[in-house]
A and B are shown apart, each in its own frame.
Chain A
Amino acid sequence: MAKIKGHISINIDNCKGCELCIVECPQDSLKMSEHINTQGYHYAVLVQDNCTGCTNCALVCPEAIITVYRESKNKTKKERVAVITNVTENITVNVS
């Protein structure tokens, strides 16, 4: 089985329900929702946790509403830091 983990997020309000991403997904991770969006279309949703981040769905999506994520190669969790400037000395605040 594939070891690479991926994830997608879909801007469902702009989905027109063409189903091209569902046909293109090699993992069958996508399916049409039973609900409709603000435009009146059924929209695509990710229903299985086996996405590999291959970007096939995003490439065929005519509306360009799919963002594809892929797990970083270095597994250590990235530290999210905010640096506050404009003070006498830099203060580092850990936000995660």
Chain B
Amino acid sequence: MSDTFNEGITCEFLDDCDIVWDRPDSLLDTRLHYCPGCGHSVVHRLLMEVVDELGIRDRTIGIAPVGCSVFAYNYLNIDMQQAAHGRATAVATGIKRVRPDRIVFTYQGDGDLAAIGTGETIHTVNRGENIVIIFINNGIYGMTGGQMAPTTLPGVKTSTTTSGRDVSIHGHPLKIAEMLALLPGAYYVTRTSVISANHVRKTKKALLKAFKYQMEGKGGVSFVEVVSNCPAGWKMTPVDSNKWLETNVFDNFPLGDIKLPVKD
């Protein structure tokens, strides 16, 4: 495979160079099954960068959801468990209580966390379990064919809302991060995105914070919502979907920290 590298111009001073960015070691060297331009892959990579940086690969347990990221365990070189649809936070609760020395995180989409698993999520946060919840919000059911999700914006056409989401029939987009921030069990709630390099840097910082809080045993859920795109579900090119996300979704799902830890 190495002979196919470096098509285009070559570099004469490569021996003088330091590698400033490379694929994280914990991310397995396999081809990801996600659609071109999908935000899932970026968050997978960021997670593994964080795990590598903290040096916790041997004691991290991830819970894969049902949805597009159901095969997360094929790419993440850590211990993984697959949970029933929406029940990832319940499984994470069990694992964390049995093995409190392990770093436990769940990785869920909006169909898993905000639709079928809303009850589990709210009660896990309310109990204040010491876990990290990573919530990928792309406002559509990508895996099953682009149906309306609870987080779909009003007026957006999906395969089940063919004339656009009507709030009088389908309700309003569910702002799950704001809901969870009200609960005393939530320690750190933030919302980020991965549409550009700066947003990716901020997301990595948020993930790093969330994992550190868990390692310090702060006793509360760290909830990181990542507003992501779904080029295939939205029927756009990846570049257009990121532009659409920036102009439309950020008004409804404003980025930034929603709940910060109270300083002692």
Contact = CB atoms under 8 A, between A and B. Distances in A.
Nearest to A45: B8
A33 B6 CA distance: 12
Given A62-B32, A70-B17, A33 B38 contact: no
Contact of A19 (B9, B38, B239): B239
Contacts of B39: 62
Contacts of B6: 9-10, 46
A44 to B, nearest CB: 9
Given A41-B36, A55-B20, A64 B5 contact: no
Interface in B1-58: 1, 4-9, 11, 13-24, 27, 31-32, 34-42, 45
B106 interface: no
A80 B16 CA distance: 11
Contacts of A71: 13, 16-18
B64 to A, nearest CB: 18
B262 interface: no
B97 interface: no
A14 B31 contact: yes
Contacts of B201: 59
Interface string B185-218: 0000000001011001100000000000000000
B62 interface: no
Contact of B11 (A7, A10, A39): A7
Contacts, number: 125
Nearest to B203: A59
Contacts of B13: 5, 7, 71
Given A17-B36, A19-B237, A66 B7 contact: no
Contacts of B196: 24, 60
A22 to B, nearest CB: 8
A71 B11 CA distance: 11
Nearest to B6: A9
A27 interface: no
Contacts of B23: 64-65, 67
A47 to B, nearest CB: 5
B53 to A, nearest CB: 15
B16 A78 contact: yes
A60 B7 contact: no
Given A59-B200, A64-B45, A46 B9 contact: yes
B37 A67 contact: no
A78 B16 CA distance: 6
A24 B16 contact: no
Given A20-B37, A66-B21, A67-B23, 16 more contacts: A10-B6, A11-B1, A19-B37, A19-B237, A33-B8, A43-B7, A45-B8, A56-B197, A59-B21, A59-B200, A60-B42, A62-B36, A62-B40, A63-B31, A69-B17, A72-B17
Interface of B: 1, 4-9, 11, 13-24, 27, 31-32, 34-42, 45, 194, 196-197, 200-201, 231, 237-239, 242
23 contacts: A10-B7, A11-B1, A11-B5, A14-B31, A16-B36, A19-B238, A23-B242, A24-B197, A45-B8, A47-B9, A55-B21, A62-B36, A62-B39, A62-B41, A62-B42, A64-B23, A64-B24, A64-B27, A67-B21, A69-B18, A69-B19, A70-B17, A78-B15
